[in-house]
Amino acid sequence: RWATVVWCVAVAAIVLARAIAGSRIRTVPLTRMALTVLLLYVASMFAGSRIAESHALQWARSQGIETEDAIASPLPARVLERDVVIVARDRYYFVEASVLSAEGVQPTNASMPRLDRADPLISAALAASEVRGFRTWLRLPSARTERRPGGHRVILYDVRYARVDGRERGIGRAVVD
């Protein structure tokens, strides 16, 4: 919510400055300032994600989870929190982690199994031509199989973008019948 206000104020300030000063605004210093702010923002988002990943890994280890990696993504309008996927040997765990405190780690979704490439149904689904584009950017794969009349349905997930939480939402999902 506050991020919307900040963006609106920033846009209003630019419009107001252009309306008052018109063409007299020196664009080079303004451009340098904007570039500096952008670089600071990118650096802080990168650093914040690494810190949140570290906090999430500490939490997972305290829960007895043997971890391999963690991947953090920023949450909309919550710059001090990250959505973190913890990669364990056979499962993915999902938490929200605070950049400011290791105690701010909260589980958000049920864990999901990692992709079992040895399963013939999943292998066939991955080989299907309709998921070729999906396969290209698939980074944290998971799958679920369902028995259907006349065959099976395989639902492939990239857990960075899609979770199984009863709503079956997210862009990181492909269905093969």
Summarised one tens digit per residue, pLDDT across range 36-75 is 989 998 899 899 999 999 999 999 999 999 999 999 998 8
β-strand pairing of 141-148 with 106-113: unpaired
pLDDT score for 170: 64
The whole-number pLDDT of residue 102 equals: 84
Identify any residues that bridge with 158 across adjacent strands, giving them in sequence order. Answer: 141
Q: What is the pLDDT of residues 76-133, one digit of tens each?
A: 778 889 999 999 999 999 999 999 888 889 999 889 999 888 899 999 999 999 999 8
**Helix (H) or strand (E) segment spanning residue 88:** strand 78-88
The model carries a pTM of 0.78
End-to-end CA distance of the chain: 41
Q: Work out the pLDDT band at 174, boundaries 50, 70, 90.
A: confident
- Quick one: pLDDT at residue 55? 95
Q: How high is the pLDDT of residue 23?
A: 66
Q: In what order do the strands lie in the sheet with 151-158?
A: 141-148, 151-158, 173-176
3 state DSSP class of 89: coil
For residue 43, the model assigns a pLDDT of 92
Do 67 and 88 meet the contact criterion of CB atoms below 8 Å apart? yes
- Residue 17 to residue 9: CA distance in whole angstroms: 12
Backbone angles phi, psi at 133, to 5 degrees: -65, -40
Q: Using CA atoms, how far apart are residues 53 and 59, in angstroms rounded to an integer?
A: 10
